[in-house]
């Protein structure tokens, strides 16, 4: 059985009423991923294939963009019924089946691999992932005999006073041998008027049959923490943030204040990048070696080149490409625009739907006005060449092109193309009316 295939079933059909939300708890986001997606990714990393998600009828379409198989639990009849919904999908699968809970985003692939290793070493029909937290709360307890063998799981709400004193809890994560799982599920009986079937009852069924039941105790009980409230959601987010930040720092990234730096797992950062406090990096953002991200910067799906300088107080929106040694400075917003190597947009500017060449300087207060003139038309694009010098408070009404080496006079709103090496001026000539202000005060 050492090389037995491994499948996974992820239970994600519950509503999570304690979240006080119309959104099912499994779909609440943590660091750019839905809670259940963290569990799915962990299942994949552990080597599970195929992977089946158990969803409610309302939630089946939530996985349309995921490469997982969905089995629908038409009526919420408990965890045992939920896992049984995967039986048709896994028909013919002969191996071990991980059963995962979609509300445990702190679970790691290394812990799951340890669980499977214990399961196969013990040649068990089922192995429970357990933990010993300082506060067992209402988790189910692992009941063992005098020799330490697992007998059953006592549900936290139904446990006796003696059972509640047991420190080892059930995480609701298991690995079953498939030939033991499906027959045990068939023997489940409802224990309440709702007709619910509890997966925990399979443990007692298998013990009664003389099958081997094992338990693997997690070294870090936090990994099996379930999320049921917004408070627990925030705690999980902080733990995941710290894990991601630690990984980057060990890989050569400097984080001045990790506790205030939020980096989504999809972000890629090369060594020798410096990131200052209150930075948020999201989506497919990438940061090349030598770049420095100053405080209060937000970047989403942005590409930041080597030795670039960003912020403070900068917003890089999707489609932003900053060249090597470029600068996007204070109170600068860039969207769907490329900024060439060594080009600077130092402060107080909005650059959207634009292409800016190399060695160009964009002075303070630049705005690319790209909204279409007629409804339904695509946004226009501003093109600014290499070695261009703009003045303060320039507007560029797209579509418009500024040639290489051109200058733009301060206060100009550019509506037509500016040739290379020309000076573009688009403003009224200044006129001074002598004594005007004094006359107004006298009146």
Name the DSSP letter for residue 428.
P
The count of other CB atoms within 10 Å of the CB of residue 394 is 25
The count of other CB atoms within 10 Å of the CB of residue 16 is 20
* DSSP 3-state of 119: helix
Taking the C-alpha atoms of residue 204 and residue 225, their distance in angstroms, rounded to an integer, is: 24
Kindly report the CA angle at 233 between 232 and 234, in degrees rounded to 5?
90
CA distances from 136 to 139, 166, 229, 438, 440 (A): 6, 8, 17, 80, 79
Name the DSSP letter for residue 95.
S
Contact 153, 140 (CB under 8 A): yes
Task: State which H helix or E strand residue 144 sits in.
Answer: strand 141-144
Kindly report the CA angle at 300 between 296 and 305, in degrees rounded to 5?
85
* DSSP 3-state of 181: helix
* Catalytic residue from among 26, 235, 347, 375: 347
The count of other CB atoms within 10 Å of the CB of residue 156 is 16
User: What b-and-e string marks burial along 36-51, b requiring 16 or more CB atoms within 10 Å of the CB?
Assistant: bbbbbbbbeebebeeb
CA distances from 346 to 12, 313, 351 (A): 47, 11, 12
Taking the C-alpha atoms of residue 332 and residue 330, their distance in angstroms, rounded to an integer, is: 5
Instruction: Count each helix (H run) and each strand (E run) in the chain, helices first.
Output: 8, 32
Which residues, including other chains, have CB under 8 Å from residue 291's CB and lie 6 or more apart? 273, 274, 304, 305, 306, 307, 308, 309, 310
DSSP 36-104: HHHHHHHHHHTT--SEEEEE-GGGGGGGTTSSSEEEE-SS---HHHHHHTTTTTTTT--SEEEEEETT-
Kindly report the CA angle at 129 between 125 and 132, in degrees rounded to 5?
140
Which residues, including other chains, have CB under 8 Å from residue 428's CB and lie 6 or more apart? none
Contact 179, 94 (CB under 8 A): yes
Catalytic-residue membership of 26: no
Q: Report the catalytic residues.
A: 347
């Amino acid at each position: 059985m050492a090389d037995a295939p491994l499948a996974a079933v992820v239970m994600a059909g519950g509503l999570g009423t304690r979240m006080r939300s119309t959104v099912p708890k499994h779909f609440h986001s943590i660091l750019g991923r839905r809670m259940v997606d963290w569990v799915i990714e962990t299942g994949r990393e552990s080597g599970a294939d195929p992977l089946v998600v158990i969803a409610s009828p309302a939630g089946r379409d939530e996985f349309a963009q995921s490469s997982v198989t969905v089995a629908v639990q038409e009526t919420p009849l408990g965890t045992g019924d939920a896992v049984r919904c995967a039986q048709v999908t896994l028909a013919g699968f002969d191996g071990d089946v991980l059963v995962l809970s979609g509300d445990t985003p702190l679970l790691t692939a290394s812990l799951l691999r340890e669980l499977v290793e214990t399961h196969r070493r013990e040649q068990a029909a089922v192995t429970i992932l357990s933990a010993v937290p300082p506060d067992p709360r209402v988790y189910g307890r692992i009941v063992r005999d005098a020799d330490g063998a697992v007998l059953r799981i006592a549900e936290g709400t139904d446990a006796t006073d003696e059972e509640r004193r047991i420190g080892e809890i059930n995480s609701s994560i298991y690995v079953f041998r498939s030939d033991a799982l499906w027959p045990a599920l068939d023997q489940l009986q409802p224990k309440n008027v709702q007709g619910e079937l509890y997966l925990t009852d399979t443990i007692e069924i298998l013990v009664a049959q003389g099958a081997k039941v094992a338990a693997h105790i997690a070294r870090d009980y936090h990994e099996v923490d379930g999320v049921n409230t917004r408070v627990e959601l925030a705690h999980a987010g902080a733990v995941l943030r710290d894990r991601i930040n630690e990984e980057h720092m060990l890989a050569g990234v400097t984080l001045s204040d990790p506790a205030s730096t939020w980096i989504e797992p999809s972000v890629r950062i090369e060594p020798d990048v410096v990131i200052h406090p209150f930075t948020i990096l999201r989506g497919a953002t990438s940061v090349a070696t030598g770049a420095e991200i100053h405080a209060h910067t937000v970047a989403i799906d942005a590409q930041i080149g080597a030795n670039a300088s960003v912020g403070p107080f900068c917003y890089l929106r999707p489609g932003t490409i900053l060249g090597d040694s470029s600068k996007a400075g204070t109170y600068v917003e860039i969207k769907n625009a490329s900024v060439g190597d060594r080009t600077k947009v130092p402060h107080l500017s909005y650059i959207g739907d634009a292409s800016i060449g190399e060695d160009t300087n964009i002075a303070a207060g630049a705005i690319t006005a790209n909204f279409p003139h007629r409804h339904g038309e695509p946004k226009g694009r501003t093109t600014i060449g290499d070695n261009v010098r703009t003045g303060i408070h320039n507007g560029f009404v797209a579509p418009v092109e500024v040639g290489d080496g051109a200058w733009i006079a301060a206060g100009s709103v550019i509506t037509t193309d500016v040739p290379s090496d020309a000076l573009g001026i688009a403003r009224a000539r200044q006129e001074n009316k002598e004594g005007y202000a004094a006359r107004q005060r006298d009146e």
